[in-house]
Amino acid sequence: MKTQRLNNGLEMPRLGLGVWQSNNGQEAIYAIHWAFEAGYRHIDTARIYKNEEAVGKAIKQAELPRQDVWLTTKIWNDDIREGRTTAALEESLRRLQTDYVDLILLHWPVDGKAAAWQELERALEQGKVRSIGLSNFMEADIEEIIAAGNVVPAVNQIEYHPYLVQAEAIAASDEHDIAITAWSPLMQGKFLQEPLFAEIAKRYNKTPAQVVLRWCVQNDVIVIPKSVHQSRINENGQLFDFELQESDMVAIDQLERGQRFGPDPHNFDF
Ligand SMILES: NC(=O)C1=CN([C@@H]2O[C@H](COP(=O)(O)OP(=O)(O)OC[C@H]3O[C@@H](n4cnc5c(N)ncnc54)[C@H](OP(=O)(O)O)[C@@H]3O)[C@@H](O)[C@H]2O)C=CC1
Ligand SMILES: O=C(O)C(=O)[C@@H](O)[C@H](O)C(=O)CO
């Protein structure tokens, strides 16, 4: 599996399986089993997805060396406050049946993020996490964390796909060498019939989903597409045996239209 070097020196797989909306039973367990079979070595979950138990079970069942699997989870908003973040991480570790996660993210930039970040820094020192990062943090939020902490975030996970590039958040992340992970990289499967994707896919003998994910990867963005279907998990995994020409990259860039499929980090209420 191809990896991207983070600002802390760790190599993060450039492809992972997202499990939001995969149920906390056979659905997530099978999806992870098929993902490992297809060569994925990176799973993206969160406390709020309510499936950390299934993720932990699937990883145990796979019997892969723990160091071969990159596991990301996230601190949900009600735990992003002084005195709660460490306990929330420990609860996630227990559900995931592991001593550490490779990456923990503050899920949304709610009040309390600076104190929560300092708790994550302590967890990093104690070896409970190998990297600490952010999710849905925009320019000002990133600067607040940089000012409050001693550790520069390794990753910022944001909504990113051909219809939404979030250039300002990416520029603010780049300034600190913070890697970007795309959530909803497939636009939740809703616009893969876009004619440009079909036209490009045909020329490379690939599918629209592979073209969209490849465009992300060629922009140095890590992808975590979600699927609970084996054929799609296999399809989404085949990204590293072709390269889009610059003209195709630019044509896809031109689809940007500021369209979100999830909440807006500048203005959310949960
Ligand atoms: N940090 C954050 O705030 C957020 C993080 N995330 C993370 O990002 C991950 C991915 O984002 P998500 O919102 O799930 O959306 P995606 O863009 O990954 O799209 C997933 C949807 O597309 C379908 N799909 C998957 N592969 C294909 C394919 N090859 N062809 C056609 N349809 C396909 C899936 O259906 P099916 O399963 O039926 O195959 C599902 O309905 C999440 O699972 C989660 O881990 C997501 C949202 C917010
Ligand atoms: O899926 C995520 O990671 C999110 O942060 C949100 O989409 C969250 O799960 C949600 O549903 C908020 O209404």
233 pLDDT above the threshold of 90: yes
Ligand 1 atom 32, closest CA: 189
Question: What fold, for 13-253?
Answer: TIM Barrel (3.20.20)
Q: Which residue in this structure is represented by tokens 């367990």?
A: 29
Is 107 close to ligand 2, i.e. is its CB under 6 Å away? yes
26 pLDDT above the threshold of 90: yes
Is 100 close to ligand 2, i.e. is its CB under 6 Å away? no
Q: Which ligand ends up closest to the CA of 181?
A: 1
Q: Residue 85, exposed/middle/buried by CB under 10 A (0-12, 13-18, 19+)? A: buried
CA of 270 from ligand 2 middle (Å) equals 9
Q: Which residues are catalytic?
A: 49
The mean pLDDT of 160-177, rounded to a whole number, is: 98
DSSP codes of every residue in 197-227? HHHHHHHHT--HHHHHHHHHHHTTEEE--B-
pLDDT of residue 120: 98
Is 156 close to ligand 1, i.e. is its CB under 6 Å away? no
Q: What is this structure's pTM?
A: 0.98
pLDDT digits over 42-67, tens only? 999 999 999 999 999 999 999 999 99
The mean pLDDT of 5-19, rounded to a whole number, is: 98
Mean pLDDT of the chain: 98
CA of 23 from ligand 1 middle (Å) equals 13
Return the structure tokens found at 112: 């309390």
The mean pLDDT of 217-233, rounded to a whole number, is: 98
Is 75 close to ligand 2, i.e. is its CB under 6 Å away? no
Calculate ∠ Cα 261-267-270, nearest 5°: 85
Give the start-to-end residue ranges of the domains of the chain: 13-253
CA of 19 from ligand 1 middle (Å) equals 8
Is 72 close to ligand 1, i.e. is its CB under 6 Å away? no
Residue 15 DSSP label: B
pLDDT of residue 178: 98
User: Looking at ligand 1, which atom is closest to the CA of residue 20?
Assistant: 43
The mean pLDDT of 183-212, rounded to a whole number, is: 98
pLDDT digits over 62-116, tens only? 999 999 999 999 999 999 999 999 999 999 999 999 999 999 999 999 999 999 9
CB atoms within 10 A of CB 87: 11
Q: Residue 195, exposed/middle/buried by CB under 10 A (0-12, 13-18, 19+)? A: exposed
**E strand or H helix that includes residue 51:** none
**What number is the ipTM of this complex?**
0.98
Is 18 close to ligand 1, i.e. is its CB under 6 Å away? yes
270 pLDDT above the threshold of 90: no
Q: Which ligand ends up closest to the CA of 158?
A: 1
Write out the binding residues for substrate: 107
Ligand 1 atom 35, closest CA: 227
User: Looking at ligand 1, which atom is closest to the CA of residue 182?
Assistant: 8
pLDDT of residue 21: 98
CA-CA distance, 121 to 133, in Å (whole number)? 10
23 pLDDT above the threshold of 90: yes
Ligand 2 atom 1, closest CA: 20
CA-CA distance, 38 to 48, in Å (whole number)? 26
